Chain A
């Protein structure tokens, strides 16, 4: 095994560059990067910025696959630069492009605003029929482990946009909501505390909604968090069909406990603190 810190191979990074103040179209610049074992694409970009070209721009924050900022097209596939090791995907050449299907702001920085706008449309939060419940909750909702599992997988989305870049339908249809917003809709539709499914159906069942998904499956294949948007979208379609046939789950099945304290507290468990909100 190669020593940590010692370069094992020279990899040519072919990076898409674009400066909106100077360039009419993007172009590719190549950089030679000495790569060590375990080095990520993000490390390689830092090497370029520190040693070869200080003008290179990209977006990143956490460096550990949590913030979802550094989504890029790496050798033709959307992925996070921070959790993709260079030697896992490249022998001698690595193409680094900004995520497609989003406008380029500069170099490797895509404009994700359209995705966030679509995300907002599906109302990705728990809706209550009684609006006062959202602000002045009177108790806790009971949710079984099975009910939790029905949406937990879809709640791990970090909004990186990799699924939107991989979706072939979104490549030709700008109005299509795309895998991320629709998976978010399914995440809340499946939540037994939520009562907004019928309101969301008006968006997800519209012409730009989930019916435009034809299961190419790339969204699930590229998702860095294992969210499986393709599965969420198929479950959403099933839910819409059942709702159309009036066979769907009725809203508000979740039993509400009127706060803790209904049972007998064990002696070694502290009392519930006072409400702060």
Chain B
């Protein structure tokens, strides 16, 4: 029998980002991945930039290249990514250990899922992130 041709309908990266009638946990997931990749990129760039010290200190000294306002802003972005990734990571550790998701129950329509149960934890995570961002902004502006 001849093999039937099939069209590969895998979403790929678009599956992370594509819109749809998704819920807030989905966006938290996407942001967690983006911030994770952002922090990883920062680490790689950090190694690259610090290695430039062997070329001299002009990048770092006084009003050098690394002291431009754009770099202060990018530093704050790195901190914001860290703040979100750490706060959401705490939520994920709790949820993935089976806390704050409720017990298995008889599914009765309209269905209530573990997403509803852990929602307060998500709100706490959001406030923790906002608090860290505010502290970081205050520190960056007053330093």
Task: Indicate if the CB atoms of A231 and B113 lie closer than 8 Å.
Answer: yes
Of A104-112, A200-208, A251-259, A267-275, the segment with at least 4 beta carbons within 8 Å of chain B is A104-112
Bound-complex Cα distance A174 to B11 (A): 11
Bound-complex Cα distance A190 to B25 (A): 26
B46 interfacial by beta-carbon distance below 8 Å: no
Task: Indicate if the CB atoms of B25 and A216 lie closer than 8 Å.
Answer: yes
Name the residue on A nearest B94 (C-beta): A234
Task: Indicate if the CB atoms of B26 and A241 lie closer than 8 Å.
Answer: no
> Chain A 89-101 against B: per-residue CB contact (8 Å), 1 yes, 0 no?
0000000001111
B1 interfacial by beta-carbon distance below 8 Å: no
Task: Indicate if the CB atoms of A226 and B108 lie closer than 8 Å.
Answer: yes
Bound-complex Cα distance A221 to B113 (A): 7
Q: How far is the CB of B19 from chain A (nearest CB, A)?
A: 7
> Chain B 95-124 against A: per-residue CB contact (8 Å), 1 yes, 0 no?
111100111111111010111000000000
Task: Indicate if the CB atoms of B96 and A171 lie closer than 8 Å.
Answer: no
Q: A168-B16, A231-B102 are in contact. Are A217 and B9 (CB under 8 A)?
A: no
Contacts of A172 in B (CB 8 A): 11-13, 15-16
Contacts of A101 in B (CB 8 A): 9-11, 15
Q: What total of chain B residues lie within 8 Å of the partner, measured CB to CB?
A: 44
State the main secondary structure of chain B at its contact with A.
loop
Task: Indicate if the CB atoms of A216 and B9 lie closer than 8 Å.
Answer: no
Bound-complex Cα distance A170 to B12 (A): 8
Task: Indicate if the CB atoms of A215 and B98 lie closer than 8 Å.
Answer: no
Q: A172-B16, A217-B25 are in contact. Are A152 and B104 (CB under 8 A)?
A: yes
Contacts of A171 in B (CB 8 A): 10-16
Binding site for B on A (CB under 8 A): 18, 20-21, 25-26, 75-77, 98-105, 110-111, 149-154, 156, 168, 170-172, 174, 190, 213-218, 220-221, 223, 225-228, 230-232, 234-235, 237-238, 241
Give me 28 A-to-B residue pairs in the complex whose CB atoms sit less than 8 angstroms apart, sorted by A's number. A20-B6, A21-B5, A26-B7, A77-B21, A100-B9, A103-B8, A104-B7, A111-B6, A149-B104, A150-B103, A152-B104, A156-B107, A168-B11, A168-B16, A168-B29, A171-B15, A172-B15, A215-B92, A217-B114, A220-B115, A223-B111, A226-B108, A226-B109, A228-B111, A231-B101, A231-B102, A235-B101, A237-B97
